[in-house]
């Protein structure tokens, strides 16, 4: 699972690429959190899921974990460009009420 980040003013964009399952999430958590910790002065973090070919409920757990971390810093979170399969799980979980799809 690849992750790239791009800072745009007070916004931080994450571009995830690969299959987000239990195996991928284990190392992705630490890498994502290190990037969040290294970026002061953020108002929002946007997770772009266009490159996520597959996601199961581990992805929901991963996103919720990042949401909790960002909330402690007072940073909002949003999601963009999930594929049809990911969107189905995200909708089912109700997670868009916490992190809107933009």
When asked if residue 60 is in the footprint of another protein (CB under 8 A), the reply is yes
Instruction: Give the residue, chosen from 42, 64, 78, 81, that forms a contact with another protein under the rule CB under 8 A.
Output: 64
Instruction: Locate 91 and state its tokens.
Output: 């909708």
Q: How many residues bind another protein (CB under 8 A)?
A: 23
Q: Is 33 in the site for another protein (CB under 8 A)?
A: no
Classify the C-alpha dihedral 70-102-43-49 as positive or negative. positive
Per CB under 8 A, 39 contacts another protein: no
43 in Cβ contact with 8 (< 8 Å): no
Rounded distance between C-alpha atoms, residue 18 and residue 20, angstroms: 6
Distance between CA atoms of residues 85 and 6, nearest Å? 25
Q: How far is the CB of 43 from another protein (least distance, A)?
A: 24
Residue 51 touches another protein, criterion: CB under 8 A: no
Around Cβ 41, how many Cβ atoms within 10 Å?
9
Q: How far is the CB of 22 from another protein (least distance, A)?
A: 5
**Chain residues in the site for another protein (CB under 8 A):** 19, 21-23, 25-26, 29, 54-58, 60-62, 64-65, 84-85, 88-89, 92-93
């Amino acid at each position: 699972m690849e992750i790239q980040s791009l800072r745009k003013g007070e916004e931080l964009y994450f571009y995830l690429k690969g299959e987000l399952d239990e195996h991928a999430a284990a190392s992705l958590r630490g890498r994502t959190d290190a990037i969040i910790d290294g970026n002061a002065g953020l108002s929002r973090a946007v997770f772009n899921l266009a490159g996520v070919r597959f996601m199961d409920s581990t992805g929901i757990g991963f996103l919720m974990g990042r949401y909790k971390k960002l909330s402690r810093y007072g940073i909002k979170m949003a999601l963009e460009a999930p594929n049809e399969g990911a969107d189905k799980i995200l909708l089912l979980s109700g997670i868009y009420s916490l992190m809107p799809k933009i």
